[in-house]
Structure 1
Amino acid sequence: MPPATATLRPGMRAVLARPHVTAMLAGTLVGRLPTAMAPIALLLAVRADGGPVLLGGALAACYGLAAAFGQPLLGRLVDRTRLAPITALSTAVASAAFTALAVLGAADHPLAAAGLAALAGAATPPLEAGLRALWPRLVPDPDAHRAAYTLDSVSQETVFVTGPLLATALCQLASPAAALAACALTGAAGSLAVILRPPARWRPPATRAGHWTGPLRSHGLLLLLAAMALLGANLGSFSVLAVALADRHAIGWLAGLLPALLAVGSLLGGLVYARSPWNLPLPRQLVYASAGYAICFAPLLITTAPPLTASLSTLPGLYLAPLLAIAFQLADRLAPVGTATEAAAWLIAIIGVGQALGTALAGRLAEHGPAAVAALPVLAAALAAAVLLTRTDLLEPATTAPEKTA
């Protein structure tokens, strides 16, 4: 792309200057903090009570799996009603579940803790999917959509920088109960900020897809979901690797630092991507980003030394925000008319499913040491890139959803 053309692309500042964008984005970020805090808080709560990593991983998996089942349903309800009432109801349920977890001894009452973790996950407010479905209406200029989705992905990484560190700090300085209570408070505060904004009360487009499968009848979207499930497994197993390394080396802050460093890399990568002059089709961009992500994870196979692992954790993050920004742009284009929120919710959900399964499997491998756990995120990242390479043609929006408009 010639430099003169690149300068014409609307940037993140132009997107932020649009009405309601800053407030909606800020509320969504605060309201989503529990999704990054809860897995670490649950793992550390079990460890603080003398329970095994396997139980902590199972509780985190219950939370993630339940969120994965709940998000598409909540997304479909948003597509058929509005964002505000669905967010209000789900937030009330999730906050109550987190409050109950804060006063319950997870290691002493594992079944009750699993039920509450599942309830908190299933009631995760559809803030992320709701905002991503609103971008074409918040930012009507199609040329600004790339900047909008990149801003979304980049800013969401602050959740995964702040969330694990906040949860770890609260566990270390106060207690795991304080971290779980903070999940209830931050979720409620962020959701309230979104509910009070006019876009949360906008009615969805009048044209809606009536087929019971919703956006899942798009073959391209199904391929994208398969790859994102593997990406989720990568992220979930990486969190357990961080806890396993913290236990092995008796360095508690590693549990929150390594995921945060991955998110820092993602933040930087997203900023670079937003300024890059790529004119490649979105499917090809997605393949390149997933391949780069997998390659940068490979060095984790050769070391589990804390300083080197911490340094290496930033590298794959450089591709993470671009990968997610491209994936959500494609999901919006591949989804049939009237299913935008549900399509985004499915993408979020499938990442959560993969994350939960990766967490559970890595929790079992943790019994054999960090080296065994390290192989899982590397393998999952490589498989995600391989899946996208199998049928990249299915990701062409024009062939799967020609009727879709911004």
Structure 2
Amino acid sequence: MLSATLVGRLPTAMAPVALLLAARADHAGTGLGAVLAAVYALTGAIGQPLLGRAVDRTRLSVVALTAAALAGAAFNALALVGPARNPALAIGLAAVAGLATPPLEAGLRAMWPRLLDRRDQDAAFALDSASQPLVFVAGPVVATVLCQLVSPAAALNFCAAAGLAGTAVVATRRPARSRQPAGESVHWLGPLRSHGLLVLLGAATLLGVALGSMNVYALALADKAGSGWYAGLVPTALSLGSLIGGLLWWPANQALQSVAILFAAPFAPFLLAPSGPGAVALAIIPGLYLARWLTMAFQLGDRLAPSGTKTEAAAWLIAVIGLGSAAGTALAGQIAVHGPETTATVPLAGAVGAAITLNLGRRLISSPS
């Protein structure tokens, strides 16, 4: 289930890079590519809570397979459409691909309590969190290799194939085919009535700004260095750092507020115009704290969410990170023409803003409200 989920989620890491490079290959500006990537992330953020609610009322297999088929069709159509020649159509297809992103991550997190004994659930969540960076290590690499050695269209076709293949394997498993347990009646706001969770969601949105804008920073660096490979290498280095941090570094008794500060500080050196190899090396450092940031956020979100809204709370965390990523991509895309040093202000601002939000809301997130 976990392995298939990782394969099915590859498009979420591949698509932003593939869309940026597809627009560039069609002689469109970085701005259009950034808009496509931002629309994909934004609609993905909108779709996850909606699809998650549909899963709660039916079955993961039905919802995920339908969504994967629709997203795959949109990716294949994008491979045939020239973004520069048909910008409106390309934007619409990117929106469909994002909106129909299969809810595999939220679905799997909701399944752990049903799949495993209580004593094994902590280990499962740790493995889940540590393995997530694999998607964001492999995704940009695969997208960049296909774009550079074959074509951006091939990368978009691969997005369709990977999403459908991974989802199909998940859908064949018995837990995905089982109807979700009926939940208790809750307030119409669901988990959003928790003040502490709202603080956490605000910080997660700003984290998404930092992550989404790094893709555009990488493209600006690639333009400056004259090598398209950096468009994939910088996001890959960030994800690789997250993988290393998730597997090897697991500090006890550390607050999320402290982890957020440690994540934010390493973005400052990007303002000093590092060389291409230097930027790749620097990107590993904030990544070392990323997996821990995400793991602690999901654990905290589960604790802050009112009874009966745990799955929806996880879906909202995923959604707001995607929303922030869309905003970061769009904002960075508008200033990328001024060079990577200027573009680097966006991920720094997002990461610092997340740390400030968590520290200002320390009292609210210390207990459910």
TM-score tier after normalising by the smaller chain length = over 0.9
Could you tell me which of 138, 147, 169 is aligned with 1:193? 169
Could you tell me which of 395, 400, 406 is aligned with 2:365? 395
After superposition, where does 1:7-86 map in structure 2 within 5 Å?
A: 24-86=1-63
In structure 1, the residue matched to 2:296 is 326
Matched, 1:161 2:131: no
In structure 2, the residue matched to 1:110 is 87
* Cα distance between partner residues in 2 of 1:181 and 1:340: 34
**Contact 1:90 1:123 (C-alpha < 8 Å) held by counterparts:** yes
Alignment deviations for residues 218-258 of structure 1 (CA, whole Å, 9 cap, x no partner): 11111111000000000111110001100111111110001
Could you tell me which of 198, 210, 215 is aligned with 1:234? 210
Count, aligned residues: 369
* Cα distance between partner residues in 2 of 1:181 and 1:307: 30
Q: Which runs of 4+ in 1 moved over 4 A?
A: none
Deviation at 1:273, TM superposition (A): 3.6
Matched, 1:248 2:218: no
In structure 2, the residue matched to 1:178 is 154
In structure 2, the residue matched to 1:6 is none
Deviation at 1:145, TM superposition (A): 3.8
Describe the SS at the equivalent of 1:294. Answer: helix
Deviation at 1:331, TM superposition (A): 1.6
Calculate percent identity across the aligned residue pairs: 56
Deviation at 1:188, TM superposition (A): 0.2
**Contact 1:245 1:304 (C-alpha < 8 Å) held by counterparts:** no
In structure 2, the residue matched to 1:379 is 349
Deviation at 1:367, TM superposition (A): 1.2
Could you tell me which of 221, 234, 241 is aligned with 2:197? 221
For structure 1, the residue ranges without an aligned partner over 5 or more in a row are 1-23, 401-406
* Cα distance between partner residues in 2 of 1:59 and 1:206: 38
Deviation at 1:385, TM superposition (A): 0.4
* Cα distance between partner residues in 2 of 1:70 and 1:203: 21
Which residue identity does 1:337 align to in structure 2? S
Matched, 1:87 2:57: no
Alignment deviations for residues 292-339 of structure 1 (CA, whole Å, 9 cap, x no partner): 101122221223311211111100000000110111111222222332
Describe the SS at the equivalent of 1:351. Answer: helix
Q: CA RMSD in A?
A: 1.3
After superposition, where does 1:265-344 map in structure 2 within 5 Å?
A: 265-274=241-250, 276=251, 278=252, 280=253, 285-344=255-314
Deviation at 1:114, TM superposition (A): 0.3
Alignment deviations for residues 60-100 of structure 1 (CA, whole Å, 9 cap, x no partner): 11101100111011111112222111111111111111111
Which residue identity does 2:344 align to in structure 1? A
Which residue identity does 2:353 align to in structure 1? L
In structure 1, the residue matched to 2:116 is 139
Describe the SS at the equivalent of 1:210. Answer: coil
**Contact 1:71 1:346 (C-alpha < 8 Å) held by counterparts:** yes
Which residue identity does 1:92 align to in structure 2? A
Which residue identity does 1:184 align to in structure 2? A
* Cα distance between partner residues in 2 of 1:170 and 1:161: 15
**Contact 1:133 1:332 (C-alpha < 8 Å) held by counterparts:** no
* Cα distance between partner residues in 2 of 1:392 and 1:80: 34
* Cα distance between partner residues in 1 of 2:309 and 2:73: 30
Deviation at 1:287, TM superposition (A): 1.0
Which residue identity does 1:385 align to in structure 2? A
In structure 1, the residue matched to 2:233 is 257
**Contact 2:9 2:104 (C-alpha < 8 Å) held by counterparts:** yes
Deviation at 1:203, TM superposition (A): 3.0
**Contact 1:332 1:340 (C-alpha < 8 Å) held by counterparts:** yes
* Cα distance between partner residues in 1 of 2:306 and 2:229: 45
Alignment deviations for residues 112-154 of structure 1 (CA, whole Å, 9 cap, x no partner): 0000000000000000111112222223325x44432221122
Which residue identity does 1:332 align to in structure 2? D
* Cα distance between partner residues in 2 of 1:108 and 1:203: 45
**Contact 2:273 2:340 (C-alpha < 8 Å) held by counterparts:** no
